[in-house]
Every structure is written in C-alpha cells, then in structure tokens.
Structure 1
Amino acid sequence: MKRRTYKDFVEEISPHIKECFPWDVAERVEAGDDLLFLDVRENQEYDTMKIDGSLHVPRGILETAVEWDHEETEPELVEARDRQIVVVCRSGSRSVFAAYTLMQMGYKHVTSLKTGLRGWNEFDLPLVDMEGNPIDPELGDRYFANKLLDYQKSPESRKGS
C-alpha cells in the first residue's frame, strides 16, 4: 500500500470545499460582503502578520473553538454558522482542512483562501503586524518565502543540492 502524503490529503479534500483566490476575496470585500476572516495559523505566525480584523483560531483547536463549553470556545465563531467565512493560512493547505472541518460541523458559507496569505501578499492586499501597523509587501515576500532547511528535505532532494 502506497504511503499517503500531506499533499495527497489536500488534493483529496479540495474538491469537497469552495476555494477562492485573493483577487476574488478583494472583489467581495469591495462589494461590501460581510466576511469573517478566520486565520488558522499558529500563534507566532499570526502575531507576525495577518489580515486586519481577522479572527485567530489555530487549526489544532478548531473543533472545540466552534462549540460552547470548551476552554477554547470562540463565541464569534460559534455564532458564525450562517456567516460568510474565508479561512486563511500561510499557503492555502491548512485552510483546506479547516474549511472542510467547518463544513462538517454545520457551517454553510465557508471558503478556503487558495494561495493563502502568501498569495494575498503577492497580490498586494493589506496585512498588518500585531499592533495593527501596515506591513510592507516586500517584508511579506521575505516572510512568506520558503525556508526549508536542508535537514527537512527528503534524502532524494538533498542529493540534487
């Protein structure tokens, strides 16, 4: 039996959810759609840069954050089952899993941001730091650049280095 990869799971789930590109979301915002941006990255990632006004719920606690009576309960998200939610992460993969989970848990209008915040930044859409200060897109480019370390690469790909 072939070992399944993270990429395999993303490709398997993607057809079951809605995805949109940053420019599609920008059009929706411009049209006045009331969107809830749900950022599912880890704390350090979120604190570094984010979409202003986004709600932060790390992917690891999503299932309990969407229900009452948990320490991780996020009331705004619990009450957002009928809202338009755009799920964001760094590159658009974790958001696929989060969007799928939300749909399974009764959320009706969920979209995953294809290309993630990396694509959002490349399209020159605004990001802010933890104090709400605008992030220069060039800084965003450096932050979102792939920083794969040699020891994280497969033995096959290290041979070509």
Structure 2
Amino acid sequence: MKTFTDLIAEHVSEVEELFPWDLVDRLEEKPDLLVLDVREPYEFDAMHISGSINAPRGILEASCEWDYEETIPELVQARDREVVVVCRSGNRSVLAAYTMQRMGYKNVYSLKTGVRGWNDYEQPLEDKDGNPVDIDDADEYFTPKVKPEQQRPKS
C-alpha cells in the first residue's frame, strides 16, 4: 500500500517545481501566466494569491474538460499557457500538475512550499473579497492543527 507521501515522491521527479521567488519573477515577466489553486474552496476563500483561480483537487480533471458542471473555460483553454499549480504546502500541487501533464498541459509547474511558502516569502495574499491578509494571521492559519484522533496510533 502506498501512502500520500509515497505518491508525492513517485511523481515529484516528473513535475517541475518553482519556488515562491521564481513565481514572483514569472508573474512579472509573463502577464498571461495562470495560477491555479487546487485547495478546497474554504481554503481559497480564506486566502489565496491575487489573480489565481480555484479548481479543487477533487474535481480537477472535470474542471480541465468541456461539458461538465465543474468545467472552468479558462482552465480548459490553458493547455498551451504556462500554468503554476499551488496548494497549501506543495504536495497536492505536485499530484495535480502530474495529472494535468497527462491531460495534455504542456507548461505546468508546481509551487514548491505552496501558499504557506508564498506567505513565508512575505508575498501578498488576499481573502475572497480581495482584502489583504495579514502575514501573522496567515502564519496562524497555516499552523498545523492535527487532532489526537487524526494522529497515527501508537503501537
């Protein structure tokens, strides 16, 4: 049986990753770059990179194709555009970028360290209403909150 981290490790070598400072540079150089956030809607609403679009990992494949309720036209038409996939910490985005490559996206990357690393690099985040998110509030949001029942049982 493979774990989540096994799946990431299996595909990370097939996906090009960018660091937050690389994305800052790319956003300045390429105004048509698409930032795709694959976190859940509640995560995206709390804070995201300005200008990014949201297609949760669970419906990504349908969001990338025509004729589904989840279809996102801008995403379907982005197969030849540069797309940077982001998530909380850079794990889900690796799986999403890998999947998108298999679906014919030619220039897809994963943001290493995710939105958490973007915040650590002190880049701006905004909430669902376009209001800036305070860096300290974002730090608190990104602090893991694993409940005891979610932890691996002791042997």
Residue 31 (structure 1) shift: 2.8
Aligned partner of 1:152 among 136, 141, 150: 150
Aligned partner of 2:16 among 15, 18, 41: 18
Report runs of 4+ in structure 1 exceeding 4 Å deviation.
none
Aligned partner of 2:57 among 56, 59, 68: 59
Residue 33 (structure 1) shift: 4.7
Query: In the aligned structure 2, how far is the partner of 1:32 from the partner of 1:64?
Result: 26
Query: In the aligned structure 1, how far is the partner of 2:28 from the partner of 2:73?
Result: 27
Partner of 1:89: 87
Query: Given residue 135 of structure 1, which amino acid in structure 2 is its aligned partner?
Result: V
Query: In the aligned structure 1, how far is the partner of 2:88 from the partner of 2:60?
Result: 16
Residue 34 (structure 1) shift: 2.7
Query: In the aligned structure 2, how far is the partner of 1:27 from the partner of 1:78?
Result: 25
Query: In the aligned structure 2, how far is the partner of 1:26 from the partner of 1:129?
Result: 19
Partner of 1:80: 78
Query: Given residue 87 of structure 2, which amino acid in structure 1 is its aligned partner?
Result: C
Query: Given residue 149 of structure 1, which amino acid in structure 2 is its aligned partner?
Result: K
Residue 20 (structure 1) shift: 0.9
Count how many residue pairs are aligned between Structure 1 and Structure 2.
Answer: 155
Partner of 1:104: 102
Gaps of 5+ in 1: none
Residue 37 (structure 1) shift: 0.5
Residue 71 (structure 1) shift: 1.0
1:36-87 CA-to-partner distances (Å, cap 9, x unmatched) read 0000011111111111111110111111111111111110001000111010
Residue 35 (structure 1) shift: 1.4
Aligned to 1:23, what secondary structure does the other structure show? helix
After TM superposition, the score normalised by the length of structure 1 is 0.92
Aligned to 1:155, what secondary structure does the other structure show? coil
1:112-161 CA-to-partner distances (Å, cap 9, x unmatched) read 001100000000011001110111111110001111111111123xx8xx
Partner of 1:125: 123
Aligned to 1:16, what secondary structure does the other structure show? coil
Gaps of 5+ in 2: none
Please report the RMSD computed on the Cα atoms of aligned residues, expressed in angstroms: 1.2
Query: In the aligned structure 1, how far is the partner of 2:40 from the partner of 2:103?
Result: 21
Structure showing greater Rg: 1
Query: Given residue 43 of structure 2, which amino acid in structure 1 is its aligned partner?
Result: E
Are residues 64 and 141 of structure 1, via their aligned partners in 2, closer, same or farther at CA, if it must alter by over 3 Å? same
